[in-house]
A and B are shown apart, each in its own frame.
Chain A
Amino acid sequence: MLAELSVALWRGTREGRYETYRVPQRESQTVLDIVTFVQRHIDPTLSYRFACRVGVCGSCAMTVNGRPRWTCRTHVAKVAGSGRLQIGPLQNLPVIKDLATDMQPFFEKWQQAQGVFAPSKTRHDTIEQIRPDSAARRAADAAIECINCGVCHAACDTVRWNPDYVGPAPLNRAWTLVNDVRDAGNRARLQAVSGTGGCHSCHSHQSCQELCPQTLNPTASIAALKRRTAAAYLKGEITV
């Protein structure tokens, strides 16, 4: 007979409760496997979000035993050592239903931080030559593998208590673009991340870098942005 795991899943929207389900345990089982089992075999009304199942798309992040995680790459054996598994929606975002959150506020903050590439050339210009070992490219490479999963946003204390704060992922993205020599939007970007709710609101608690599934370090990117914007402010390139 298969061993069973007792799993508590959030049901509802902002108001709701955790309901407990019995799910058979399997070898190499992920948290997403658990959620999928419940929806396909126990309660088809359970709502959650996923796409690729292999840690690329960033769709399936949820709160697992109190911590935000990408559920498709989180093994049950890693997080349910005590035999307890509680799965809820990501924190710091509105809940649509059950385990699915509304990511719109998260992506609006990417726009707010000017986390969008601003081209400096047209298709008729020659392609920019970029040395992979240049300091700027190394800095961009260190931060560029973000999959927009929202784990850092959900993990951040400052996001929770300061609604103006744009958060770790948009600032991390802004830092990659600041180091992209092809980008033409840096003055506006540095200006955008220097105001209220920008990079200087970060308290460097480092929850983002501790929980980032891609092992990125948004805290380091934000610290670098603080230095870069301070220098730009002192040179008069940006204002407050």
Chain B
Amino acid sequence: MNVRLYVWQRATAALMLPLVLVHIAVIFYATQRGFSAAEILSRTRGSIAWACFYGLFVAAAAIHAAIGVRNVLSEWSPLKDRSAGLFAILFGLALLGFGARAVTAVVLG
């Protein structure tokens, strides 16, 4: 961990805090109201706001988690910093890919 990774990890954590709260509130709202999948998708499809919200969430989570995984690997595995960093980049890109696919499915459909 160095200061650049530290700043990125703290900044993405700060960004995700309100996003997680809204995400949980949305889950409670949808389940309390008993929305079906079709009803949820009818609200999210074509919505630029939800696309931005979850797009930002996915990007922040991918960066934040990748830095965390890099730290775990460099401290707990035989991998050197460089190899751990490379693995973490791949891990972050995978998260970004899976997340973007999910957001696309929910927003574009």
Contact = CB atoms under 8 A, between A and B. Distances in A.
Interface of A: 158, 161-162, 194-196, 198, 200-201, 226, 229-230, 233-234, 238, 240
B31 interface: no
Contacts of A229: 3
Nearest to A226: B6
Contacts of B76: 161
B4 interface: yes
A196 B81 contact: yes
Contact of A200 (B3, B74, B81): B3
A233 B3 CA distance: 7
Contacts of B6: 200, 226, 230
A201 B1 contact: yes
Interface string B1-13: 1111111001000
Contacts of A196: 1-2, 81
Nearest to B71: A201
Interface in B48-94: 74-76, 81
B75 A194 contact: no
Given A200-B6, A233-B7, 7 more contacts: A162-B74, A198-B1, A200-B1, A200-B2, A201-B1, A240-B2, A240-B3
Secondary structure type dominating chain B contacts:
helix
Contacts of A161: 75-76
A195 B10 contact: no
Contacts of A238: 3
A200 B2 CA distance: 6
9 contacts: A195-B3, A200-B1, A229-B3, A230-B7, A230-B10, A233-B3, A233-B4, A234-B7, A240-B4
Nearest to A164: B81
A230 B3 contact: yes
Which of A162, A196, A200, A229 has most B Cβ within 10 Å? A200
A229 B4 CA distance: 10
Nearest to A240: B4
B71 to A, nearest CB: 8
A197 B3 CA distance: 10
A200 B6 CA distance: 7
A27 B88 CA distance: 58
Contacts of B10: 230
Contact of B2 (A162, A195, A234): A195
A162 B1 CA distance: 11
Contacts of A201: 1
Nearest to B76: A161
B2 A198 contact: yes
Contacts of A194: 2-3
B75 A162 contact: yes
A38 B81 CA distance: 46
B14 to A, nearest CB: 12
Nearest to A198: B2
A158 B75 CA distance: 8
A158 B10 CA distance: 20
